[in-house]
Structure 1
């Protein structure tokens, strides 16, 4: 018997919990192959699921010891489990608010690891030192881009090596929307101000048209912002048109560059890191390799006094009970459930449902339902106590593990996390997302070795070798160490390519009028 046929009969599979009625394939499982003592009766691709016992129609399908769906037809042992025979239905969850909350031991400051960061007057610490050109409305987006491009092309930044660049943060809204008092208006305001004061932004120029709903004076008044040496504003209409605004904008940035560049990196504790925990292009391995490894790295960060921010509310749907049990208080857990209910209503009003979330790529990678996807996604948050639940772009004030409400769409979610204060992003992907961000650098973790080898130039760390026996604790330590060196100035793979100029996508809530 040749090696290939022998391998086909003894594929590697994983049973993730003793209560599971399925296994996950590490290798493709062919009909007739024996895995976990069960003979396969259908082909099971990599990362997909195979039943190890007969599952009756209507019975729960279990992975990670949790319900990921219900059989829509009888499933025989050895059969492929996927969208054709497994789906979501409503069932009760026991939230057990705050029952698993613990007081973590935080290392004394003198024992904490350090990184090289930019101390700001606000007391926060940056990992990068950009100048941002913000816009109050889409009508000023092109001018903002022209200003940033003019400065970046001029060569003036050669004299300021401490400045990482000038970045236009443009968006598609700011007018044709409900104004003061509306949810969408408040969300955009929080996002704009979150970037204007972000520790990775050494200086900011806010450009408007002049007649938009999102008025610059109102934004400044609502958030108690004052113009100063490193925060300037202007409008196209008041300045005299496109050319004059570009020229004046370039002049304003030139004026602030010496002050922005005067701030140097210095040694600070890693407790000053606030890390956005993200995933995109997830697959059947996400919840087995990269996400739990990132979760352990998050636990390490929390033990050092740092902060991990989980988001993507539609992608913890069905796993929220695991987070409410870890909530520090019942009130924090209830706030998370309130956001889940808001999303159920929001999707229903817009003709969708929460299980619409898994994308075609997710499903091709082995994820069948939102419940399965969410259980894997929640693993990024580690095991520590949930210390707070925040609105999109709301400033995060608690240290430790927290949650921020956001869509599952990666650019919109990360935009909110960064507005909330995240100065670093760690992003897991199975299918091969090539995501990058500014002003906060993004570290990319591949969930499987195939994706890592195929897109090695995009991936910072391969977590697929966990399937080959690398201890997950060792991988978590590698991720934690990468956080420190990237925070200290090492460029991530996406930074080397220059990603980040087009990924600023504020969540647009409400009617466009």
Structure 2
């Protein structure tokens, strides 16, 4: 298909009263006569990914896209008008959750596809092979980074099977209730990273006086690791700066330990592993009006294929399914699974209200510049990453992913925090779609970044891996 033959607008569903521009359109541009656009001209310039009314929409009437309501007109909208924040508000939706009423059948099993990964002694599959330096508290974060800096890529050349030495740091670890919700959630994240299949070995570095003690972390989460020469136990190696003697001594001691770890970690070899052992984390950020048309549906198809092969595809970002969650509750395998998802939505409604905010204020400045008008529109596009498979499980933040199939994890919409939860839960690959251009990375899991449109892909080609915007250009993926 040539670029000239690609429609300049897309009418996504027969019930939609808007179309989406696939390129920049000037004022008074005559739209081709397709379903819903007969004799229509743009009444003002329209940017790529933005919406145009195809018929008159009265004040208070719903705006329809994807066959769903994405908001309500705040004033009368004429055919050819630009439809966006100046004439649309989110309003309130009435959703029918219809739990487990539209559960799709299990896919026909697929077999025979493999990837080259690392097989761990406990049988798990890894896509990378790192040594991790886990900081128990912000007070040891800088020290952990100093240790990692001792092992630049050039110093690891004699260990070709080691992908790197990485600091795993954060800004918490103290000023919290011992054993309280914050402490236990942090423990869940840190232990998830420490025992992640992509971490071949690790050490724990603390300050010594923090609430989040390394010993508590190791004991409560039953942490173990590879047997290191000279060590009599497989328990985690813990360095508390106050006990070792400060920053410099801790850095030297940690570096010496890692030097002992390197040969053992380097013994891992890539071997063919069935794709059924991939836990795929799905995330999007810097979304635009094309996200729900190009990258996210393509990722949804890939996720469905992975499910058919026996793998796990894990959607996240609870505030960014808001207003579209009924599409997931209907696909839930059981009523209980659907109800847990709704319970998480209600929690976020309550949480945001405590700060005088609302979930439906979610779209960012960049989202809006890219054509997304309301949280409902953004959510419908985001949910497309989840494909069409049945919803098999709903997980708390950073909870270990134990179920294959299509799952959901409760995370915030802030991308670094959301992906952290997915990786801590065991995702060994992350695919991240972006329309505005997010450069997110998520070691120890590789992050494949998929652009939703060609102009951004070409502008940021050094940071993007795939261009799904080719669909709008008339090129198959």
For Structure 1 versus Structure 2, the TM-score category normalised by the shorter chain is over 0.9
2:144 alignment partner in structure 1: 144
1:28 alignment partner in structure 2: 24
Deviation at 1:106, TM superposition (A): 4.9
C-alpha contact 2:202 2:225 (8 A) present in aligned 1: no
SS of residue matched to 1:159: coil
1:174 alignment partner in structure 2: 173
Partners of 2:332 and 2:281 in 1: CA distance:
19
Q: 1:96 aligns with which of 95, 98, 107?
A: 98
Deviation at 1:11, TM superposition (A): 7.5
Please list, as runs of the form range in 1=range in 2, the aligned pairs for 1:67-466 lying within 5 A after superposition: 67-107=69-109, 111-152=111-152, 156-180=155-179, 182-226=180-224, 229=227, 231-466=236-471
SS of residue matched to 1:219: helix
Deviation at 1:183, TM superposition (A): 2.2
Partners of 1:19 and 1:49 in 2: CA distance:
15
Deviation at 1:169, TM superposition (A): 0.9
Cα RMSD between the aligned structures?
A: 1.6
Structure 2 residue ranges without an equivalent (≥5):
32-36, 229-235
Deviation at 1:455, TM superposition (A): 1.1
| Total equivalences in the alignment | 460
Deviation at 1:158, TM superposition (A): 2.1
* Superposed CA offset, 1:470-502 (max 9, x none): 34xxx3xxxxxxxxxxxxxxxxxxxxxxxxxxx
2:34 alignment partner in structure 1: none
Q: 2:14 aligns with which of 15, 18, 25?
A: 18
Farther-moved stretch of structure 1 (218-227 vs 253-262): 218-227
Deviation at 1:117, TM superposition (A): 0.7
Q: TM-score, normalised by structure 1?
A: 0.87
Partners of 1:33 and 1:107 in 2: CA distance:
48
Partners of 2:399 and 2:68 in 1: CA distance:
32
Partners of 1:118 and 1:228 in 2: CA distance:
14
Structure 1 residue ranges without an equivalent (≥5):
1-6, 476-513
SS of residue matched to 2:151: helix
Deviation at 1:322, TM superposition (A): 0.5
* Superposed CA offset, 1:315-342 (max 9, x none): 1111100111111111000000000000
Higher helix share: 1
Partners of 1:74 and 1:145 in 2: CA distance:
57
SS of residue matched to 1:151: coil
* Superposed CA offset, 1:81-120 (max 9, x none): 1001111112210111111213313536xx3301111111
Deviation at 1:357, TM superposition (A): 1.3
1:467 alignment partner in structure 2: 472
Deviation at 1:256, TM superposition (A): 1.4
Partners of 2:304 and 2:226 in 1: CA distance:
39
Deviation at 1:42, TM superposition (A): 2.2
Partners of 2:474 and 2:155 in 1: CA distance:
50
SS of residue matched to 1:34: coil
* Superposed CA offset, 1:117-159 (max 9, x none): 1111232100000000011100001110111111337x54222
Partners of 1:369 and 1:39 in 2: CA distance:
25
Partners of 1:293 and 1:391 in 2: CA distance:
26
Partners of 1:94 and 1:167 in 2: CA distance:
46
C-alpha contact 1:11 1:34 (8 A) present in aligned 2: no
Partners of 1:11 and 1:122 in 2: CA distance:
52
SS of residue matched to 2:332: coil
* Superposed CA offset, 1:147-189 (max 9, x none): 1111337x54222110001000111110112331x22212111
Partners of 1:270 and 1:79 in 2: CA distance:
47
Deviation at 1:216, TM superposition (A): 1.2
Partners of 1:242 and 1:74 in 2: CA distance:
65
Deviation at 1:351, TM superposition (A): 2.5
